[in-house]
Amino acid sequence: MILLQAQAVDTVSNAAESTGELSMSLFELAVQGGVVMIILAVLSVIAIYIFFDKFMMVRKASKINPGFMENIKNFIHEGKVESALDACRMQTGPLARMLEKGVMRIGRPLSDINTTIENVGKQEISKLEKGLALLATISGGAPMIGFLGTVIGMIQAFYNMANAGNNIDITLLSGGIYTAMVTTVGGLIVGIVAYFAYNIIVARIDNLVAELETRTTEFMDILNEPAN
């Protein structure tokens, strides 16, 4: 019984040591990537920052007070334009800013009002999309940078082979091979993460655009309705 316990303790100790060696070796492999891995690390930080920043912006812009449109409808039908403007100004989302411009132009042709609302909407969406081009660039550029590191690593490996002459040793090639493999994996990971992040944000913005178009159409219908 004591012997089995001792063996179990040794097994746990060996497993812990193996885990520590694995963690250290992974870190060392990352270091072998050199400057390319530093570039990829910077790009990954930028991509993560853009994703969370845009995610929170779109989430905030998508929040619409359930009774907002009903209040606007009632104020317009009662001829209380200033009250409708105040209701818009109390909100912070893009819909409120779009409808505010529309309310300010009540009395003009509906085509002018609709054009004004669309122009404000384009400006609001442009704000939300700012930075997405960089995220898309990272998703496509990171794998290419990783491939550049692969080429650099292979050049290092062949250069070491050429200088070794007849005394070729596998250790001479390890540095270049490490660089080649690690940068490839790093570039792919950063590129894949940025690609999914970009598409998630684009999909959420598309959903917001569809919602804004629906609310805008509802507002134009309100203007077309006869007052009570």
Tens digit of each residue's pLDDT, the chain (228 residues): 433 334 433 443 444 444 444 444 556 666 666 788 888 989 999 999 999 999 999 999 888 888 888 888 888 888 888 988 888 888 888 998 999 888 888 888 888 888 999 999 999 999 999 989 999 999 999 999 988 888 887 777 767 766 666 666 666 566 567 677 788 888 999 999 999 999 999 999 999 999 999 999 988 888 886 555
Give the C-alpha distances (Å, rounded to integers) separating 228 from 23, 79, 103, 184.
Answer: 73, 10, 18, 68
Is the CA virtual torsion 157, 160, 166, 170 positive or negative?
Answer: negative
Q: What are phi and psi of 106, to 5 degrees?
A: -60, 135
Name the pTM for this structure: 0.77
pLDDT tens digits, one per residue of 119-165: 999 999 999 999 899 999 999 999 999 888 888 877 777 677 666 66
